Amino acid sequence: MELTALTLNEVADLIARGWVSPVELTEAYLRRIDLLDPQLISFITITADLALEQARAAQEEIGRGVYRGPLHGIPLAIKDLFETAGVRTTAGSKQLVQHVPVDDSAVVARLRAAGAIMLGKLNMHEWAMSVTTINPHWGTCRNPWDLNRIAGGSSGGSGAALAAELCSGALGSDTGGSIRVPASFCGVVGLKPTFGRVSTRGVLPLSWNLDHAGPMARRVQDVAIMQQIIAGYDPADPYSIDAPVGDYPDLRAGVRGWRVALALDGFFSASKQPDPEVIAAVRAAAQVFEQLGAQVTEIALDGTQTATRATLNMIVTDSAAYHAERLAQQPDDFGADVLESLQRGAKLAGTEYVLARRTQTTFRRQIEQLFDDYEILLTPTTPVAAPPVDEPESSQSRRPMLVSYTAPFNLAGTPALSLPCGFTGDNLPIGLQIVARPWAEATVLQAGYAYEQATSWHDRRPSF
């Protein structure tokens, strides 16, 4: 097997033993990026020189016995929303083509300190403002499972680069589903942590009140390893919350005796329903949890449609506030869909925003109380598998449908994991979403790991 196909955890073990050098691993990924990324456009910026320099430093340190832990010498790629010292950070926009930050974002600094290597900056939906990564400035990111389909977004580059084995792990951000949707469409694993768990200092904002930074990788264990490094209180981020961090890589708890809620309905109006293939795959996943000793109860979740609308109203208004100056001065520098969203946000009344916030507060309490009765909640991550680039599901007006299962948990602020739970007849990945109470990242990771160990969806690889 090629080095690049190994999981983060596998290759970290080989690096720790000195059997693989960070330099050869980095070179292997850079070669693969050169070879394959022109078709995918998962990267906006490839930082080959920096990566090799970091790899040599890691190799030298490890060689003299200074091993920093499981991210030491591991090549990662970073969504281009995270500021990186000395490396252009575009947010997928052409407006920031000259933006070279002085400082690293808080999480990038933590990854660097852990010895990780940065291969480059990943493609994304412009300003993170939708879930397709159809990007008019940097090119549309393609799905490795079918190049005619979207990779999802806004962290589309993260999902595609992982699925195509162009990096060991990636950073994403999630405001309405932007980690989980591309994880679902690309057949990888993504964690949206609890709101306030991971610092968003130095992450270009979409919505201050809903933005979550989080890890993505090919396996649950890999996501847990990254989460351990990036989690934790940051007094310099006013949205960061001081709560004890768990031991995330210890995933062996199992789900025996857990009470598991399964929610499939209530997320959609009558005019649009999820794909039956998706529903069947998630039902089958719930049966796996039963076989693992959990007790599964199918429930109807109230208020999710209102929650999704509130989330989308907050996103467009928060972003219109942030972009007010650009919107007034250079509106045409935005892509058409982003401009339309921003203009909608600029027009939204304060009183409507108040009602969205009110929905947030009451829905959050409702979800917290749900977890008085259940350890975890299972839902599909997305109602359909990755739609074609040119089909209606990818059009601006249909995109909110894609976040129907994910956006409510941005509003609630709960941790939510997406991982593969099957494939459509067209060989497209289907995502399972696992949600738990606030701060229970360990719970969703343990549940995801138990499911992953019991299944083998992760063995399938895209061939393109």
Q: Would you say 243 or 279 has its CB closer to a second copy? A: 243
CB of 187 to a second copy, least distance (A): 36
CB of 315 to a second copy, least distance (A): 11
> Annotated catalytic, 272?
no
Q: Would you say 305 or 362 has its CB closer to a second copy? A: 362
Identify the active-site residue in 178, 199, 341, 404: 178
Residue 390 CA to residue 186 CA, distance in Å, equals 18
For residue 158, what are its two tokens?
């993260």
Residue 174 CA to residue 172 CA, distance in Å, equals 7
Of 340, 352, 363, 462, which is closest to residue 410 (Cα–Cα)?
Answer: 363
> Annotated catalytic, 269?
no
Residue 215 CA to residue 274 CA, distance in Å, equals 27
CB of 351 to a second copy, least distance (A): 4
Q: Quick check: 169 and 222 in contact, CB under 8 A? A: yes
CB of 28 to a second copy, least distance (A): 43
Q: Quick check: 26 and 4 in contact, CB under 8 A? A: no
Residue 59, CA distances (Å) to 16, 20, 33, 151 in order: 10, 10, 21, 33
Residue 16 CA to residue 102 CA, distance in Å, equals 32
Q: Quick check: 79 and 172 in contact, CB under 8 A? A: yes
Q: Would you say 295 or 366 has its CB closer to a second copy? A: 366
Q: Quick check: 83 and 104 in contact, CB under 8 A? A: yes
Identify the active-site residue in 79, 192, 207, 341: 79
3-class secondary-structure state, position 185:
helix
Identify the active-site residue in 42, 93, 105, 154: 154
Q: Would you say 276 or 350 has its CB closer to a second copy? A: 350
Q: Would you say 93 or 313 has its CB closer to a second copy? A: 313
For residue 91, what is the DSSP state? T
Segments in 41-179 forming alpha helices (H): 48-63, 106-113, 156-163
CB of 369 to a second copy, least distance (A): 7
Q: Would you say 218 or 364 has its CB closer to a second copy? A: 364
Burial bucket for residue 258 (CB in 10 Å: 0-12, 13-18, 19+): buried
Residue 207, CA distances (Å) to 25, 76, 248, 321, 327 in order: 36, 25, 27, 9, 16
Q: Which residue has the tokens 């109602």?
A: 383
Residue 223 CA to residue 320 CA, distance in Å, equals 32
Q: Would you say 110 or 323 has its CB closer to a second copy? A: 323
Residue 63 CA to residue 15 CA, distance in Å, equals 10
Q: Would you say 227 or 308 has its CB closer to a second copy? A: 308
For residue 309, what are its two tokens?
């609308």
CB of 256 to a second copy, least distance (A): 29
CB of 355 to a second copy, least distance (A): 6
Segments in 374-440 forming alpha helices (H): 399-402, 407-412
Residue 142 CA to residue 218 CA, distance in Å, equals 17
CB of 386 to a second copy, least distance (A): 32
CB of 316 to a second copy, least distance (A): 9
3-class secondary-structure state, position 43:
strand
> Annotated catalytic, 154?
yes
Question: Given the rule CB under 8 A, which residues bind a second copy?
Answer: 208-209, 235, 238-239, 313, 317-318, 320-321, 324, 345-355, 357-358, 361-362, 364-365, 369
Q: Would you say 57 or 321 has its CB closer to a second copy? A: 321
Q: Quick check: 170 and 119 in contact, CB under 8 A? A: no
Catalytic residues: 79, 154, 178
